[in-house]
Structures are given as structure tokens and as C-alpha cells.
Structure 1
């Protein structure tokens, strides 16, 4: 007897429906065909043990399981449940006409209980798109799937519950949640606040400008100056996620298995801080079945690289293209997958190996030339993609103990959001451009026009400070953002002057 059940395979951040055909006929042995990996081939042992525990029998005849289309690689143990139900139906141990109405996914334990799986959100989106009535899946994943409206999400705990539901012996109420209500509840809930940071007003200002224009930032300063503390608070001043961004971000984290049991819609911008020992593949994504890397997990949020020169040079260099294109393409012999990677890069570093070059109180013990060699660990092309260079100095005792409360993140966020609205209006006819930092070079001359006095100031600064040519566009983009924060249409002298001071690493002789 031929039985068909339906599962799903995830490639990149999209899902593809898989038809699981099961035939039980005369003969022996168990076959799984259709490009399954080892985890699927091993499913026979889990399925047989689960069937026996729940009172069913594994057919002692020939069982052929075909997973179509055969040219898509299927991976993981999430196909256990649809294969088991297909075998039970093909061997006439269960009778139901509802198998074809549902996408079915779930990993079986040996006692027939279901374990959570990855990539539930894109699977649910695809199931609704293809007109399936519902999605039968482990209970731990139900909230994530229920984000998708107009799809019956049937949470089950065991294989037996799935059988009873399909045969009509047990009614399971589909899980329904109000996506907008969940989003509004979770949105903008950040534990860290800029009000916790005393002093460092110039660094807060730089981060506000970065948030307003989507600019990348590098902070250079001695140990203990507060670089990490400030970076962790940056997501709290970025404009709140909209529902589309939240769904897009949740989808990536779902595929990577980062939502956890009971996870639902992400309402806050992600903050990823990988260790400097990270590999190229872990940062940009990849693997046999390509998975999103840290830069994709930071999509619509912040990627923080602490102690930037300690990262392997090859790791840093693979970020250059994603920083420009806002996506990363993973190519394999049979497949090419795009992962979104629209993130803000925040980097920090000590000014030298000992950490005290240019320190106001402590002496640097590094030998001549060491500071420049340390800085040279970060390549020029990567620095070219970082708009703001900020020097962080230690906070004095008086600043740490001042009674006046610091400005809260919510207040800064309002100013940032207003600046982003001006940019949204400016780039409304360009769907790929959302902020000043994303502005292509050919637009800079039109959008970032400066007066004759401003042109003279910029020329003088580039000559006297020894600024490189690559700093020119960056200064204009940052000054445009500063003008947006000030609510002015024109870029004024003071806006240019402030932008110029954020190119310290471009100055000739900065590191001696």
C-alpha cells in the first residue's frame, strides 16, 4: 500500500515541502531513498523502538521510504514522525484520510515522545503558502509556528497523540496567538540602559550618531574604559524593530536553532558578540548544509567584535563583502544560498598590546613601532568600511560619582528614530537603502551637498590631519546624519567639523 505524508526541508532561511512516500510490500529490509543523511537513515531504530513502546509493530516486510524531490538534500532527525506515521498507515495499523492535509515534523525518542526541532517558522510560512490546513509538530515549537496566521498549529507531545488526532479519537485545539500582541509585548525590552553609564558623553554622542545613520564604529581605548559596556547598550537606542524585521530576524534564529524551547517572536534587536577565536565559517555561515553565521544572526541588530586585532586576519577579511552588500552568499557545488546580513559593526580595541598608549595617567611600555604593527593587524579595506573612529578615555572619579542621572536610552532612541524618519523619506524611492550609511557613492554628491565654507574646511582638514581619500565619503555621510539629528536640511560647518573628528585612525602618524 502506498502512503504519502508531508514534511519540509530548510535551505538557507526558506523551506521546501518534502513528500514522504512509504510502500510496504513483500520482501525484507528497510530502505530510505531521496538523498537522506545519516540521521535519517538511522531513524529506523528510533521509529521501531517508539512503535513498540506505543503498542504498534514495525512491518517485517519490505519498507521503502522515498523523500521527494530527490535532488534536495534532507538532513536531521525531524523526519522521524512523518516517516513513522507513513509506515503505520501503509501497513494499515492506522486508518485516516487526513495525512495529506498537514505538514508533519518531529524527532522521536525511543518511548515515542517528541523532541523539538529547528527551522519551524520558515516551515510554517511555506505550509501556509502551499495551502496546507495545518502543521503537526512538537509542543515546544508550537508558539514559534503559531506566529503564522491562517494555519492550524497542532502541538503534540507523543507519537500517540498525533495518531489519535489524525484518527479523530482526540481533539487538539489549534494553538493561536495574536502576533501583533506578542510583538508589542516583547518589543523594545532591553535590560541594559545608557542611564547606567556615568560620564563618557562624547562616546554616547558618537554611538547616537552611529545609530541614527546605521554607521559602523570602532572604539579605541585602554582596558576598563567602558568600551564593552557602551557597546552592549547600543541596541537599546536603535529604532524599535517593526513587525517585518522581527519576523525576518526570528526566521534566521529559528533556522540556527537559537530560539530555544518555547521561543516565539523576537522583539528586540539582536546583539552578537563572538569570541576572537571564531572561525571563518562560524562568522559568515557555511557547512555541508549551509547554516547562518554570526553576521546573519546579527541581522537587523549589532555585531560586536571585542579586541578586534586579536581576531584572525582571514576571519576579518571575509566580512568585507557582507559589510558592503548587506548579505552573504554561501556557494556549494549543487546549491548557492543567500543569508541576509544587514548589521551594524561595532568593534573595540586597545591602542597597543599593553593597552596604555596615549593613556592620561599610565605609561605605555611598548617598544617603538609596536603600536603601528598592532594597528596594522586590522587591514585598511576593513577600516575603510568603518565610518566612526572613537577614542575612549578612562572615566574620572568625579564623573563616576556625580549625582546627576545620565540620559536614558529611551530618550536617545526618540532622537534616533526621528533622524531615521528623515532618512526614510529621503530614500523612499530606493527600497535597498534605509539609512545614510547604505547610501551608494554616486548619491553622496547629491544628498550631502556642502557650502563653499564647508568645502574649504574639509580640504584643510584632509591636508593638515593627513586624512586619506577614503575618509572623504565617510565624513560626508556622517555629517549628513549629524544634520538629520539636528533636524536641518543643510549640512553646516559644525556638522562637518564634528564628523571630521571621528576619523582619528586615518590621521597620518596617529600611532607614532
Structure 2
């Protein structure tokens, strides 16, 4: 009887769990059993492994083979266990030296011809392995660059199962014939980043965009078609600062699991930008899929921007599912295969027309045939609880003739980005020693205690609460915006004018 073990990693959301892959070969009726709660894709690895071993020129053992994935109580999914299963079987058949294999992690899918194929989630999987004390990792050649991003990992990239056999000291009777076909890694094309100088006029909206970037605040823009809502939203990532090292690893891990990461570019250092179409389903926006849920647009936008253009046209189910991540900064998706937890701390930017036809309140508004009821119903699709979580509400008008003919270019992205960076650094220094990195994350009780000593600072906010203009949640968000306005102007503590500016940008109410 032969027995051998090696290691693999099972991902549950972003969390990696070390799995011991045990293979036992008994002198009995030939067969191949895979146990340990595998899903359908993993159960099919029996056929892939057998074909890959035969394609490598190794005789398949005619024994009763049992492979156990331990711990057996943890659900395993995907094809990333193929290589570990093959190595454990070959070691149990005495074709590979068994000592030390239990300290090596194998992560790759096997083709029928023995080629190693890349898999999703290599970065968080390797990070989990290194964190558990297993530094030696064998992956497909296409995944080697991604795995090498994990500090402390000793990565071995292999193109074929034969390379893995030789790596572990095994012998081959002859070299396998390997086809030249390779599977390209699907990576989305990078979008072009425009400059804020391209936006004509819209001074209040540009100010709101800068404040949103400096404090990590959510933003709603309402205006007619052509006012510049989409242009402004697309330029928000350009004025955001680069991700920190920890944030870059976190964001890159999400995109690795989602299969949208190009390892050739290294860690993702720029904030991501996601703009799903208004026909997107809830599963594509928040995450979903059979078995264990995959990350959706809200998680791919982690530490970046989620832009919903024509927001009232989105399904109400999609809009309501945003409420949890807006508050918690993460998503927990429960499926039959288990619960997956994904980070989702993004900046939400909503854009909407003022009415179904979009012409209300414009110079061409005389041609608007929408009734007042139709207008209310249209914007009413954005529920009160959702809008209460959006810090900045801005109404845009179409560019005037003066803007179009005589308007000079506004400040560039680089100029605004410098101010945003300085404001973020001031906030980060002030919050040193806490888990908060932006003003948008500040808890309400801490804010109120900090500002209570400022004479008259909170009285304006309290009057708005008494008048029903602001909820308690809205008041906290308004104070966070006031802190950001102060940071942009170089002040440690916001003033009454900063609170009034925040109030105007949230409610449109001017000082009185």
C-alpha cells in the first residue's frame, strides 16, 4: 500500500485555507475515488489527472486510488487542486520521492495533454500558504509572476506536468509531446484617463468632485444629458492618490479571484473604476454564481470608484443591495456552497437625469413633456435610505454659451490631485493609530465629541435635524464632509463656513 501527501489551498471568498491532499494506493480492484467535499469541477479532476499522467509518458497505477482533501468538512471548489492530486498520486506510487512534498503547495489546473493551466486567486492563495508557514509553491508558468508578488514565497513556475515531476526528482522514460497551443489570460483593456481640464464650467460640481476624492465621500450628480456628469465621474480616479502597499495587495487579491488581474503589470497601484451598465443583474454587481459566490463590480471597485450612470434605470434590487457595503465596507454572500466575504469599500458615484426625458430645468425645458408625477417617480427610484448614505448631492446645468465659446480650461487633473493628496495625508496623520484612513470612515460619536467644543459649530446642523432636513446619519456624513473641506484648506478643525459648505453640497440649502 502506498501513501503520500502534499498541499493545496482552498479559497472561501478572499480567505485561503490550507488543504492536505492525501493519496492512498491499495492493491485492490482499480478505481479512483476523490473525497473531501469536492464540487463538480473538482470531482472531474480524476479524469483530467489520469489523462495528464498518461500524456506525460507515465503508466497509470492499476490500483485502488483514494484521494482525500483534508479537512473534509471544508467545501472545495475549482480546478486548482488538479496538480496537487496528480503529485500525491505519483508520490504514493513511488514515482516521486515523497519526503518534503507535504511542505510544498501545488496550485494549477491540468490539461489532458499534461500542460499546467493558470487559475484564479493565486495571489491570496499563495499569501495564505506563506502565512501558514509553507513557502514553496508550484504554479503554472503564467501564474508565476503573480505568485512572486507575495513576500517570502519561493515560487516554481512549470509549463507541464513533466516539469513538476523533474522538479521533485522523478524520472521520465521519454519527453512528452507538448502542443504549442496556450490559453491566453483574459484581462480587460485599460481605459484611457481623461483630464479635468476637458470639463467646461461646472465649478460647483468640480468642487464636489475634489471634496469627494479628498475624503472618500459618495456623490450624486443630477443634470441633463451633456452636462458633463459622465466626464466628471470618469476623471475621479485620476485625482485619487495611489494605493498604499497594503491596499494594493488587497485590491490585487480581489481582482485575482475575479480573474481580471494582469500579473505582468505588478500590483494594482491605481484605484479601480467600475461602471456597470444599467441592465446589470444583482449577481454581476454585488457578486454571485453557483456554489461559492464570485466577486462582483462592487468588490472589484474596492478602494476605487463604482459609477452608476443613469442610476434610476438600474433595477431596484441592485440599488438596494448597495446599502450594506456602503455602511460596512464589505459584502458577505451566502450560497449553497458556503459564505464568501469580499471587501467593498468603494466610492459610489451616481448620475441621473432630472426627469425621464432629461430636459427638465434646461433652456430646452419647454420641450419637456414629463409631468411632475413622472419626474417624482423617476427620481423616486433612488430610495431615501440609499440617498441618505450619499454625502454630496449636486445639480448640474448644461454648459452655457459663454462656457462653450469663451470658457477657458479649468484646473488640470494633476493640479487637483496634488491638493487631494495633501488633504488625504493630513487626514491619515490625524487618524494615525486607528483603522480609519479617510474622513468618510469617521464614526459619528467620535466626530461629535471632537467638534462639541467649537462654539456654534453644531448649532446649524442641529437646526437642520430639528427641521427634518437631515437625519442623524445625514448629520454625521455632513460633519465628515466639513472635515474634508477643512483639510483641503489646510485647517485642522472645520469652521462654521466649512459646515455651511458641506450643507450646501448635501441639501442645496444656503446659509441663513
One fold, TM greater than 0.5? yes
Equivalent residue runs for 1:34-113 within 5 Å:
34-95=36-97, 97-113=99-115
Cα separation, 1, equivalents of 2:229 and 2:135: 51
Please report the TM-score for the alignment, with normalisation by the length of structure 2: 0.88
Answer yes or no: is 1:496 the counterpart of 2:499: yes
Answer yes or no: is 1:270 the counterpart of 2:289: no
Q: Give the equivalent residue in structure 2 for 1:153.
A: 155
Answer yes or no: is 1:22 the counterpart of 2:26: no
Shift of 1:131: 2.4
When residues 80 and 454 of structure 1 are mapped into structure 2, their CA distance, relative to the original with a 3 A threshold, is closer
Alignment match of 2:375 (pick from 368, 371, 375): 371
Shift of 1:155: 0.7
When residues 397 and 136 of structure 1 are mapped into structure 2, their CA distance, relative to the original with a 3 A threshold, is farther
> Structure 2: which 5+ runs fail to align?
173-190
Shift of 1:88: 2.0
The CA deviation string for residues 386-408 of structure 1, in whole angstroms up to 9 with x for no partner, is 01001122223543455844322
Give the 3-state SS of the residue equivalent to 1:87 in structure 2. Answer: helix
Shift of 1:17: 1.2
When residues 461 and 61 of structure 1 are mapped into structure 2, their CA distance, relative to the original with a 3 A threshold, is closer
Shift of 1:488: 1.9
When residues 109 and 261 of structure 1 are mapped into structure 2, their CA distance, relative to the original with a 3 A threshold, is farther
Q: Is the 8 A contact 1:96 1:167 kept in 2?
A: no
Shift of 1:366: 0.2
Shift of 1:505: 7.4
Q: Give the equivalent residue in structure 1 for 2:393.
A: 389
Cα separation, 2, equivalents of 1:473 and 1:129: 38
Q: Give the equivalent residue in structure 1 for 2:256.
A: 254
The CA deviation string for residues 431-477 of structure 1, in whole angstroms up to 9 with x for no partner, is 2x222222222223233458666667667878999666764333333
Cα separation, 2, equivalents of 1:430 and 1:256: 30
When residues 2 and 371 of structure 1 are mapped into structure 2, their CA distance, relative to the original with a 3 A threshold, is same
Q: Is the 8 A contact 1:330 1:336 kept in 2?
A: yes
Shift of 1:382: 0.6
Aligned residues: 489
Q: Give the equivalent residue in structure 2 for 1:421.
A: 425
Q: Is the 8 A contact 2:389 2:474 kept in 1?
A: no
The CA deviation string for residues 338-388 of structure 1, in whole angstroms up to 9 with x for no partner, is 322211111111111001111133432102311111111111111100010
> Structure 1: which 5+ runs fail to align?
171-188, 508-512
When residues 93 and 471 of structure 1 are mapped into structure 2, their CA distance, relative to the original with a 3 A threshold, is closer
Answer yes or no: is 1:430 the counterpart of 2:434: yes
Q: Give the equivalent residue in structure 2 for 1:4.
A: 5
Q: Give the equivalent residue in structure 2 for 1:181.
A: none
Q: Give the equivalent residue in structure 2 for 1:118.
A: 120
Shift of 1:279: 2.8
Q: Is the 8 A contact 1:220 1:391 kept in 2?
A: yes
Q: Give the equivalent residue in structure 1 for 2:14.
A: 13
Give the 3-state SS of the residue equivalent to 1:393 in structure 2. Answer: coil
When residues 403 and 161 of structure 1 are mapped into structure 2, their CA distance, relative to the original with a 3 A threshold, is farther
Equivalent residue runs for 1:199-218 within 5 Å:
199-218=201-220
Q: Is the 8 A contact 1:190 1:268 kept in 2?
A: no
Cα separation, 1, equivalents of 2:130 and 2:462: 58
The CA deviation string for residues 418-443 of structure 1, in whole angstroms up to 9 with x for no partner, is 22222223333432x22222222222
Q: Is the 8 A contact 2:145 2:263 kept in 1?
A: no
The CA deviation string for residues 228-275 of structure 1, in whole angstroms up to 9 with x for no partner, is 111111111122211110001111111222214646311111111122
Q: Give the equivalent residue in structure 2 for 1:281.
A: 283
Between 1:443-452 and 1:103-112, the stretch displaced more is 443-452
Cα separation, 1, equivalents of 2:344 and 2:140: 30
Cα separation, 1, equivalents of 2:464 and 2:131: 56
Give the 3-state SS of the residue equivalent to 2:78 in structure 1. Answer: coil
Shift of 1:299: 1.2
Give the 3-state SS of the residue equivalent to 1:501 in structure 2. Answer: helix
Q: Is the 8 A contact 2:96 2:170 kept in 1?
A: no
Cα separation, 2, equivalents of 1:151 and 1:168: 23
Cα separation, 2, equivalents of 1:64 and 1:385: 53
Shift of 1:493: 4.1
Cα separation, 2, equivalents of 1:442 and 1:460: 18
Shift of 1:217: 0.4
Cα separation, 2, equivalents of 1:465 and 1:360: 32
Between 1:488-497 and 1:143-152, the stretch displaced more is 488-497
Give the 3-state SS of the residue equivalent to 1:64 in structure 2. Answer: strand
Cα separation, 2, equivalents of 1:485 and 1:248: 27
Cα separation, 2, equivalents of 1:467 and 1:71: 49
Cα separation, 2, equivalents of 1:138 and 1:392: 51
Cα separation, 1, equivalents of 2:44 and 2:458: 69
Q: Is the 8 A contact 1:48 1:57 kept in 2?
A: no
Between 1:108-117 and 1:325-334, the stretch displaced more is 325-334
When residues 249 and 261 of structure 1 are mapped into structure 2, their CA distance, relative to the original with a 3 A threshold, is closer
The CA deviation string for residues 10-38 of structure 1, in whole angstroms up to 9 with x for no partner, is 11212111111112222122111111111
Alignment match of 2:141 (pick from 109, 131, 139): 139
Please report the TM-score for the alignment, with normalisation by the length of structure 1: 0.88
